[in-house]
């Protein structure tokens, strides 16, 4: 389905780079990242409300822990570090061993279709590099993507534009209108809009629903259908 009909003819646009979120967009992991964040914070006796949990989707996970903690302890760096390490260890085990973790249907084929069209494929994520690498290794995507970047490799995570601009620089792309940004969260959509990407795509079935993703230029039920719009 198309949301916010574009004023340009997508068929006439020449995109050079497609940037995809991971969890909930290209990776099926059943919400493990948010469930694990909640468990790690609540292990220290700080309850996490569903409302707050929904607002961290797509964020840098270290920053997300800071956001989830109550104000009196939100500045306690040692506490955040401890929770973050617990979170990483829990999530690593899920991503390494849980049989439910897999790619969304048709993602590898989509990557190959885009690359055959001359569109570079990159991943960006609120994970740290270690978690992203585990998933890329497990899904055997090294030969199907051109680049990847994680929020711990830039100064600011989503919804800031640092990851998008870093990927563009590495690809020697100077025009944001040549970039497609794809994600399942409000922070993904805001990241793409803030960077003035030529196409910002929301994907359903992840963290946020159609209403929450309504600022996207295009909303898809299935990510595998993206190539037909390019």
Of 1-5, 90-94, 189-193, which one has max mean pLDDT? 189-193
pLDDT at 13 over 60: no
pLDDT digits (tens, 9 = 90+) for 70-129: 888 888 899 999 999 999 999 899 999 999 999 999 999 999 999 999 999 999 998 889
Q: Are residues 116 and 65 in the same domain?
A: no
Same domain? 82 vs 178: no
pTM of the model: 0.84
Residues 56 and 154 in one domain: no
Mean pLDDT of the chain: 90
pLDDT of residue 7: 44
2 found inside a domain:
no
Same-domain pairing of 198 and 135: yes
User: Which is higher by pLDDT, 60 or 175?
Assistant: 175
Decide if 41 is inside a domain: yes
Q: What is the 3-state secondary structure (H, E, C) of the chain?
A: CCCCCCCCCHHHCCCCEEEECCECCCEECCCHHHHHHHHHHHCCCCCCCHHHHHHCCCCCHHHHHHHHCCHHHCCCHHHHHHHHHHHHHHHHHHHHHCCCCEECCCHHHHHHHHHHCCCEEEEEECCCHHHHHHHHHHCCCCCCCCEEEEHHHCCCCCCCCHHHHHHHHHCCCCCHHHEEEEECCHHHHHHHHHCCCCEEEEECCCCCCCCCCCCCCEEECCHHHHHHHC
């Amino acid at each position: 389905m198309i949301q916010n009909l574009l004023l340009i003819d997508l068929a006439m646009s020449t995109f050079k780079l497609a940037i995809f979120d991971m969890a909930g967009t290209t990776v099926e992991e059943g919400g493990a990242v948010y469930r694990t964040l909640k468990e790690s914070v609540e292990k220290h006796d700080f309850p996490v409300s569903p409302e707050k949990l929904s607002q961290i989707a797509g964020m840098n996970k270290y920053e997300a822990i800071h956001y989830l903690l109550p104000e009196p302890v939100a500045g306690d760096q040692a506490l955040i570090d401890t929770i973050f390490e617990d979170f990483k260890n829990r999530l690593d085990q899920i991503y390494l061993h849980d049989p439910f973790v897999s790619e969304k249907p048709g993602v590898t084929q989509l990557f190959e279709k885009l690359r055959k069209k001359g569109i570079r494929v990159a991943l960006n994520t609120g994970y740290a590099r270690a978690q992203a690498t585990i998933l890329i290794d497990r899904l055997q995507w090294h030969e199907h993507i051109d680049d990847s970047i994680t929020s711990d490799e830039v100064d600011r995570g989503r919804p800031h534009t640092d990851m998008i601009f870093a990927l563009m620089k590495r690809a020697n792309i100077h025009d944001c209108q040549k970039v497609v940004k794809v994600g399942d969260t409000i922070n993904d959509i805001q990241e793409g809009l803030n960077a003035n990407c030529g196409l910002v795509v929301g994907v359903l079935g992840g963290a946020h629903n159609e209403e929450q993703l309504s600022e996207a230029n295009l909303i898809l039920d299935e990510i595998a259908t993206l190539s037909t719009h390019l």
